[in-house]
Amino acid sequence: MNKCVDFRTFNNSWYNPGGGFLLRLLWYYTNFFFFQSYLFPFYGFKSSILRLFGASVGTGLVIKPCVNIKYPWNIKVGSNVWIGENVWIDSLTEVEIGNNVCISQGAMLLTGNHDYKKSSFDLVLGKIILEDGVWIGARSTVCPGVRCKSHSILAVGSIASKDLNEYGIYQGVPAVKVRDRVINQ
């Protein structure tokens, strides 16, 4: 007989998102008013706020409106990074974003998932790394534990559930390599 999922047995008491309760509460409202809103388009100020909350942020960060960031203290962002509207960075654990990375509109970086093989549906975490020159296409998803290597591309609407090799263009659900990326100049 097959077993069933039983959410009453779910227990993630081992998980500590960091920051402490008051910092997480303060971030919740800061994220809501300054990042998830269309009312505050000032990139430099957003970079300063992220640094204030423990994120490591390089220079030249462009962060558009309606971006949702779970826990900024788990994020490292390089220089000259573009983050488009409606991006969700679900940073339950570490997210590393290299230099000259573009994360397009509606993309999701998901560091958490659940173990569907356990009746308790345990939380599973995996660090995400986007190396230099990576482009995450609009409405695409990077799953927990994935590394997008140097200058790889995840095409629009695709899902990266495994590592992307350098200078590869990946497309589909799940994403597969469709060709090499060639940069002319």
CA angle (171 as vertex; 167, 173 as ends), nearest 5: 140
Counting residues of the chain whose pLDDT is more than 90, the rounded percentage is 94
* pLDDT per position as a tens digit, 120-159: 999 999 999 999 999 999 999 999 999 999 999 999 999 9
DSSP 14: T
Q: Is 171 exposed, middle or buried (0-12, 13-18, 19+ CB in 10 A)?
A: middle
Question: What is the distance between the alpha carbons of residues 153 and 170, in angstroms, rounded to a whole number?
Answer: 6
Does this model's pTM top 0.85? My answer is: yes
Question: What is the distance between the alpha carbons of residues 38 and 67, in angstroms, rounded to a whole number?
Answer: 9
* pLDDT per position as a tens digit, 24-59: 999 999 999 999 998 887 888 999 999 999 999 999
